[in-house]
Chains A and B, each alone.
Chain A
């Protein structure tokens, strides 16, 4: 795993999220709603995006990871580990599909988290 993915990527992710250029996978949505509820939030897709934006704005560290098999064949992902002190794992990627978008691929409690 590389070190922090850098300010440039962070700024780009924030810009895309703020501009509503984002998508969320159903897997991430289904696991995010209960997590947001435990944070005292009213869960919604927007709340997922707000939470990710908040972490990015507050300089929460994130790392670049190669996606796909073989690694890198599906581009680069950006992950945040233990984003809430209880193992919250978030993975995003920037995709050039119809337009350039951030895709939130994962938003769940890591099975590997040991507290």
Chain B
């Protein structure tokens, strides 16, 4: 199975030119390191490497990696692996307990402490906050909520920055006089209609698309596009996407997840001219599949907020990736259903229900003060999802029925300025 060199000890053949031999040396390295557009010069001293005497190729292993890693930490003023471990050990926590407290992944903590991965500056500050005062740790412990059940899982997942998202019942008095968590009278009046509304029925919202437009950008030979066009020729519905989501949830493979995403974009853009171009850009991202996998894992665990925070693909804003979350959520049984949050729904909340929508995020408005685009805001999205799910429980209807119902309402002719 292995392919041993005929040489041993000092006489190691170069893996690049296959002519020269590798010789051990210690070198000082200077290299630029870029984070968030800023470049810092890193100096790593006494790095053990093997150098080829023919082509100059170098080989280096874990010890060199450790020295470079610590040099990067020093240059960027990040905690070193030993410092991260010391913070955890001062709190007398195992990696699993630390992970539960911070809601960081246990594997991530292990990789940071082992020097396998570098924490980004934001995570570095989070760790420093924990080291800075016991009060911060106690605050996290308070947020941690109930103890794990017998399977070791939390009954109620709580994120580390939950404090940014006050419970819906603390959102205060609304312009219409009620509290936001109270079901608006406009919806109560339509309770029966809401209960009968089935967003997944074929008639609910079939979106037409032209495959030829999508062929030009996504590719006529794209297997997933052809699959979708073959199964849902000319139009795609929420019900179709729910089926794709169930498959993706069961199989969790790249093909079914990519199909679900592409199908969501087909449904989201329909015949909009720039839709295929934007979708092609999203899918061309180096880490597109990784992002889709990682965020769906979060959605299926009921952690929509982390999914929101992790979702970064070019040309794909919240109006579209929340559609992806919504459809993904249809693939399994979630207590809190992720929902679509786009400018149409947001305008209806504001104009038709008279809600103050500022807790849901930052918006761009057109000259008529209508919301025309939605900025990223994970906490705001979480509030919105909690709110509509809460209303749905009161009205004994599906949460997405409320979203669809709002979507189909006529907006007032003259929105409040």
* B-binding residues in A (CB < 8 A): 8-9, 12, 20, 22-27, 29, 35, 37-47, 49-50, 67-69, 73-76, 84-86, 88, 93-98, 100-101, 103, 105, 115
Cβ of B286 < 8 Å from any Cβ of A? yes
The stretch from B12-20, B157-165, B241-249, B332-340 touching chain A is B12-20
Pairwise interchain contact A46-B3, C-beta atoms closer than 8 A:
no
Pairwise interchain contact A85-B286, C-beta atoms closer than 8 A:
yes
Counting from the closest, the 5 A-B pairs by CB-CB distance are A75-B3, A96-B4, A45-B65, A42-B118, A46-B116
- Also in contact, A39 and B287, with CB within 8 A (given A20-B62, A75-B5): yes
- Also in contact, A85 and B289, with CB within 8 A (given A25-B58, A45-B69, A105-B16): yes
Pairwise interchain contact A76-B3, C-beta atoms closer than 8 A:
yes
Give the nearest-CB partner of B11 in chain A: A97
Per the bound structure, the CA–CA distance linking A115 and B284 in Å amounts to: 9
Cβ of B106 < 8 Å from any Cβ of A? no
Pairwise interchain contact A42-B117, C-beta atoms closer than 8 A:
yes
Partner of A25 from B16, B35, B118, B312 at Cβ < 8 Å:
B16
Pairwise interchain contact A67-B18, C-beta atoms closer than 8 A:
yes
Pairwise interchain contact A26-B58, C-beta atoms closer than 8 A:
yes
Cβ of B57 < 8 Å from any Cβ of A? yes
* A-binding residues in B (CB < 8 A): 1-5, 7-9, 12-13, 15-16, 18, 33-35, 49-50, 57-62, 64-65, 68-69, 72, 111, 114-120, 283-284, 286-290, 312
Per the bound structure, the CA–CA distance linking A64 and B33 in Å amounts to: 34
- Closest Cβ of chain A to B277, distance in Å, is 15
- Also in contact, A98 and B115, with CB within 8 A (given A23-B60, A42-B35, A85-B288): no
- Closest Cβ of chain B to A47, distance in Å, is 6
- Also in contact, A50 and B13, with CB within 8 A (given A12-B2, A86-B286): no
Partner of B18 from A27, A37, A69 at Cβ < 8 Å:
A69
Pairwise interchain contact B65-A38, C-beta atoms closer than 8 A:
no
Partner of A93 from B15, B62, B64, B286 at Cβ < 8 Å:
B15
Partner of A105 from B15, B62, B69 at Cβ < 8 Å:
B15
Pairwise interchain contact A40-B287, C-beta atoms closer than 8 A:
yes
Per the bound structure, the CA–CA distance linking A93 and B13 in Å amounts to: 12
Pairwise interchain contact B60-A84, C-beta atoms closer than 8 A:
no
* A-B contact list, 18 entries, CB within 8 Å: A8-B1, A23-B60, A24-B65, A25-B57, A26-B59, A27-B16, A39-B286, A39-B290, A44-B68, A44-B69, A69-B18, A74-B15, A75-B3, A84-B286, A85-B288, A93-B15, A95-B2, A96-B4
Pairwise interchain contact B60-A68, C-beta atoms closer than 8 A:
no
Residues of A within 8 A of B16 (CB): 25, 27, 105
Residues of B within 8 A of A115 (CB): 284
- Closest Cβ of chain A to B81, distance in Å, is 10
Per the bound structure, the CA–CA distance linking A50 and B111 in Å amounts to: 9
- Closest Cβ of chain B to A71, distance in Å, is 11
Residues of A within 8 A of B35 (CB): 42
- Closest Cβ of chain A to B331, distance in Å, is 20
Per the bound structure, the CA–CA distance linking A111 and B120 in Å amounts to: 31
Pairwise interchain contact A22-B287, C-beta atoms closer than 8 A:
no
Pairwise interchain contact A100-B2, C-beta atoms closer than 8 A:
yes
- Closest Cβ of chain A to B17, distance in Å, is 10
Known: A12-B1, A46-B65. 12 other contacts (CB 8 A): A20-B61, A29-B60, A39-B287, A39-B290, A42-B119, A44-B65, A46-B116, A49-B65, A74-B15, A75-B4, A95-B15, A97-B7
